[in-house]
Chains A and B, each alone.
Chain A
Amino acid sequence: MTLIEPKTNSESFIAVPQKRSFGARVKREWNKNAIVYVFLIPVLIHFFIFQIFPFAFSFVLTFLDWKIIGDPEFVGLKNWQRFLEDKLAWKAIWNTVLFSIYYIIPTMALGLILALIINSGVRMKALFKGIFFLPVVTSFVIIAGIWGWLFRGTESGMINYLLSFIGVDTQLFLADSSQALLVLAGLSVFKVAGSTMIYYFAGLQSVDKQLYESARIDGASPMRIFWSITFPLLKPIHFYVAIVTTIGSFQIFDSTFLLTGGGPNYATTTIVFYLYQQGFGGLNLSYAAVLSYVLFFIILFISLIQRRYMGKETKYY
């Protein structure tokens, strides 16, 4: 081991109290924390360019009329007014709300069931966990490709074929405006249930085992134990999963884009899909910016609810 001369800038060195000039203080701070500034400053610049500036720019954009070609024109609140009167935008919001309703409870229920089974002590736990988690890491494009064929609205669609065994008539599925959103919600349940399972699994493992012991001694049935102990104790997780899934469902785009193109009859036009259509299909970039802000306010609202009820301790992603 080599003995190294104590450096004058090291913190352990006793500082001589004296009035330092601003320059000297900056220099001292630099010597102490050079690593911070060398890496933090570029990252902050990057952060400003790719996060803060676009966020503000998008807001400015909502007051302009800009079609990429030509100069932007200031139009005040016209874009916002258009949004308020745009029936299709409200339909897109309503569709997204409906989608959440179709999707949140099944995702939570399936995630919880999977976690309960795996937590109850089964063989090859890791394998089954892996199988249920697989769709989470798989691209929407792959899953939607298969899903589209399974739910083909003809007699030769596999789901229709299976339904025919129990005497259900051929369904149109994605081509039926009352079913399309449900089929897309089903795809998302399949895609996301695995991550919900992981949250619940973590929650189940932190439940105090002694509670189960004493309940069993008191002669409680497994069902009773579940509804009186496990379910209520998982409350923070129910809440957290509900919030995360809701936020996710408001951002849904891929499955609509890949499978229905927003149809039939706008039944699967979600907020983000409508935003995409307006911005990049119709080149109404400023109006798309308004829609993106609407999405932002909805997500902000949901996040604030969580902040309010979960306190500072729980992070929300």
Chain B
Amino acid sequence: MGKFIKYLALILLAGCFLLPFIIMTLGSFKEMQFALLDPLFWIPDDPTISNYKYLMGSGMFLRWIFNSVVITIIPVFTQMFFCAILGYIFAKKQFPGREVIFWVFMAVIMIPQQLLIIPKYIMFADFGWINTYWALIIPELWGIMGVFLVRQFLQSIPNDLEEAARIDGANDLKVFFKVILPLSVPVIATVGTFSFISNWNDLFQPLIYMTQEEMFPVTVGLASILGKEGNFGIEMAGSTLSFIPTFLIFLFFQRYFTEGIQMSGLK
């Protein structure tokens, strides 16, 4: 009996969590002129791919996807690299000012990003970065969070391996690439997945730095068609397409999301 209730609750809740995604996918295959009249507008009786065709044909959508890829992929790789090497530096190296610098990093995390947006906008306007990829790539080249995650991870790893490599004559760079990097694959994957999701899904920053339609990432692009009458099918098709990369990353790296959340939160 208890077991039955447990599974019933689980399946009902899972249904509620999946329903929006089901509506999104099914809705993307419907002609939407009736959506305003029908509460169950998303249940298919006459599926069509016209919404997808429209998106592909309009040109802008593919451009938005391309923009999102550019502003996501570059920071993902640079973040993985810089966070790995800085995490190593803060976990294993002794140098003057180490504690102070790390303390300042940790303090700065408390600053909400919204505070930095106004001065950054003025700076970027001055640099000529508005409506360029630079505004969204350069500030994201590394992240304090990622450094913190790698440092936490490496602190829990004994120094024996590193010392063995040093006795064999390896220098710092060699130790980093041959010993530390292979060991930290899980945590670096965590940094990468988080960086992917936060850059791909970001709305606030591109909304401010990108004012021309052809520079929009897909989030801002979708927001611009959101809620326009009769656009529901197109919006859902766009949502489905922009969701696919997120979903694939999620499918392959799910473990790292949960590990990352646990590692960052609870110690």
Beta-carbon nearest neighbor of B22 in chain A: A146
Report whether over half of chain B's contact residues are helix, strand or loop; otherwise say mixed. Answer: helix
- Per-position binary interface string of chain B over residues 149-191, scored 1 when its CB falls under 8 Å from any chain A CB and 0 otherwise: 0000000000000000000110011001000000000000000
- Per-position binary interface string of chain B over residues 99-125, scored 1 when its CB falls under 8 Å from any chain A CB and 0 otherwise: 001000110111111111111111101
Q: Kindly state the separation between the CA atoms of A4 and B236 in the bound complex, as whole angstroms.
A: 64
Whether B239 is near chain A, meaning CB under 8 Å from some CB there, is yes
Extra 10 A-B pairs, beta carbons < 8 Å, given A35-B85, A54-B120:
A33-B93, A39-B82, A46-B142, A58-B115, A130-B254, A140-B201, A141-B226, A146-B236, A148-B227, A292-B112
- The answer to whether A36 touches B258, judged by C-beta atoms less than 8 angstroms apart, is no
- The answer to whether B118 touches A128, judged by C-beta atoms less than 8 angstroms apart, is no
- The answer to whether B266 touches A237, judged by C-beta atoms less than 8 angstroms apart, is yes
Q: Which residues of A contact B201 (CB under 8 A)?
A: 137-141
CB distance from A192 to the nearest CB of B (A): 11
Q: Kindly state the separation between the CA atoms of A149 and B228 in the bound complex, as whole angstroms.
A: 12
Whether A98 is near chain B, meaning CB under 8 Å from some CB there, is no
Beta-carbon nearest neighbor of B24 in chain A: A146
Chain A residues within CB distance 8 Å of chain B: 1-2, 4, 29, 33-37, 39-40, 43-44, 46-47, 50-55, 57-58, 61, 66, 68, 113-114, 117-118, 120, 122, 126, 128-150, 154-158, 160-161, 190, 194-195, 198-199, 202-203, 222, 237, 240, 244, 250-251, 253-254, 257-259, 272, 275-276, 279-280, 285, 288-289, 292-293, 295-296, 299-300, 303, 313-315, 317
Q: Kindly state the separation between the CA atoms of A222 and B5 in the bound complex, as whole angstroms.
A: 14
Q: Which residues of A contact B122 (CB under 8 A)?
A: 57, 61, 66, 68, 285
Known: A134-B21, A147-B20, A156-B37. A244 touches B116 (CB 8 A): no
Whether B14 is near chain A, meaning CB under 8 Å from some CB there, is yes
- The answer to whether A292 touches B93, judged by C-beta atoms less than 8 angstroms apart, is no
Interface size on B, residues (CB 8 A): 90
- The answer to whether A315 touches B208, judged by C-beta atoms less than 8 angstroms apart, is no
Q: Which residues of B contact A4 (CB under 8 A)?
A: 168-169
- The answer to whether A257 touches B203, judged by C-beta atoms less than 8 angstroms apart, is yes
A-B contact count (CB 8 A): 255
- Per-position binary interface string of chain B over residues 232-262, scored 1 when its CB falls under 8 Å from any chain A CB and 0 otherwise: 1001100100110011011000100110011
Q: Which residues of B contact A146 (CB under 8 A)?
A: 20, 23-24, 236, 239
CB distance from A211 to the nearest CB of B (A): 19
Whether B76 is near chain A, meaning CB under 8 Å from some CB there, is no
Whether B219 is near chain A, meaning CB under 8 Å from some CB there, is yes
- The answer to whether A314 touches B266, judged by C-beta atoms less than 8 angstroms apart, is yes
- The answer to whether A50 touches B14, judged by C-beta atoms less than 8 angstroms apart, is no
CB distance from B242 to the nearest CB of A (A): 7
- The answer to whether B112 touches A36, judged by C-beta atoms less than 8 angstroms apart, is no
Beta-carbon nearest neighbor of A54 in chain B: B119
**What are 16 residue pairs bridging A and B, where the CB atoms are less than 8 Å apart in the complex?**
A4-B168, A29-B96, A35-B172, A43-B86, A54-B115, A113-B9, A129-B258, A131-B17, A133-B258, A139-B246, A145-B235, A198-B262, A253-B114, A292-B115, A295-B114, A295-B115
- 4 closest A-B pairs by beta carbon, nearest first, are A161-B39, A4-B169, A54-B119, A35-B172
